[in-house]
Amino acid sequence: METEREVFGNFKPELIPEECSGDINDYEEALHVLMKFMGSMSSALEQVSGRGANAIVYQAGKRMGHEAGKLVEKTDDLEKAMQELSEILGIEFYFEMWKPSNQAEYTIEKGNETIVKLIFRDCVVRQTLRRTGLRQKGPLCYLLYGYTVGAVEEVMGIKGKLDIDHVGPNACLKTLTIKWGGK
Amino acid sequence: MVKIKIDEEACVGCGSCVDDCPNDVYKLDEKKGKSTVVNEEDCMACLSCHEICPAQAMEHQDIHVAKRLYIDRKVNEVIRKIL
């Protein structure tokens, strides 16, 4: 059956729509267009700016993370922060803490640093990269890097960094290092 | 818990999975010339070994399968018709 493309009706700019228009096909189409657009932006950025592309995307992600972090309660409890971070990132960035079997706790204390390994199981960035045939660990991965760091910094009021340890088609392992002692 | 099966008939013993896995889940059995699972509990189901295995000799069971939104549903419909 032919999809109806045009919707006719009355519209005033000040009105808030009572319901979203479109069905799942429209959303899927929009998602795929956005994925292609993001992939294309990422590879163009890399082509023009080289390794500087990572820094640009990281900064964009960090800003988003700081904004998102403002919406949740501040805490200095790392596990609580991870829980809140998980809520901020939402179901499209489903992650959990991870540790190898020979390690007792999820967190490792090293001087004034706390290290925790995070495994990202669902990730829209990974979906986008696979949709557009781009490699993982590229500039677009730095968006999530910045986003996570920005949100952690906002929620815990400390400095953090996220290193990408390993990437795979089904999950990615990252190390979050937070530095106690203020920004 | 993750369960990993290696199809010994398919495995060519190239050792790519051994080199690729960051958690040393696999080891090359030098007698058999095949890859074997030695550290299953540390598998995080990233499935990079699936991607690197030239023989597609692996199967992971009981894992969180990440969403595959990148595949167009229309493509799935076509594939289902063909299969």
pLDDT in tens, chain A (183 residues): 555 677 787 777 777 777 777 888 888 889 999 999 999 999 999 999 988 999 999 999 999 989 988 988 888 888 888 888 888 777 778 888 999 999 999 999 988 899 999 999 999 899 999 999 999 998 999 988 898 899 888 988 888 888 899 999 999 999 999 887 754
Beta bridge partners of A137: none
Q: How far apart are CA A162 and CA A125, in angstroms?
A: 16
Q: Which of A100, A131, A172 sits opposite B23 (nearest CB)?
A: A100
Average pLDDT estimate for B26-32: 94
Establish if A127 touches chain B: CB-CB under 8 angstroms.
yes
Domain boundaries, chain A: 24-179
Residue whose C-alpha is closest to residue A175's, from A103, A112, A97: A97
The second-level CATH assignment, the architecture, of A24-179 is 2-Layer Sandwich (3.30)
- Structural domain of B55: 3-82
Establish if B52 touches chain A: CB-CB under 8 angstroms.
no
Residue A33: predicted pLDDT = 93
Q: Which long-range contacts (CB under 8 A, 24 or more apart) does A77-83 make?
A: A78/A107, A78/A114, A78/A116, A78/A156, A78/A178, A79/A106, A81/A152, A81/A155, A81/A156, A82/A116, A82/A118
Establish if B41 touches chain A: CB-CB under 8 angstroms.
yes
Establish if A103 touches chain B: CB-CB under 8 angstroms.
no
Residue A103: predicted pLDDT = 93
Q: Any idea what the CATH number is for the domain that residue B47 is in?
A: 3.30.70.20
* Count of beta carbons in the 10 Å neighbourhood of residue A36: 13
Candidates A3, A25, A121: best to mutate against B (most CBs of B within 10 A) is: A121
Q: Where are the beta strands (DSSP E) in chain A?
A: 95-98, 107-110, 113-120, 159-167, 172-179
Average pLDDT estimate for B32-39: 95
The structural domain count of chain B equals: 1
In this predicted model, which residue has the larger pLDDT, A18 or B75? Answer: B75
Q: How far apart are CA B2 and CA A126, in angstroms?
A: 22
Residue A3: predicted pLDDT = 58
Q: How far apart are CA A157 and CA A149, in angstroms?
A: 11
Residue B43: predicted pLDDT = 96
Residue B72: predicted pLDDT = 82
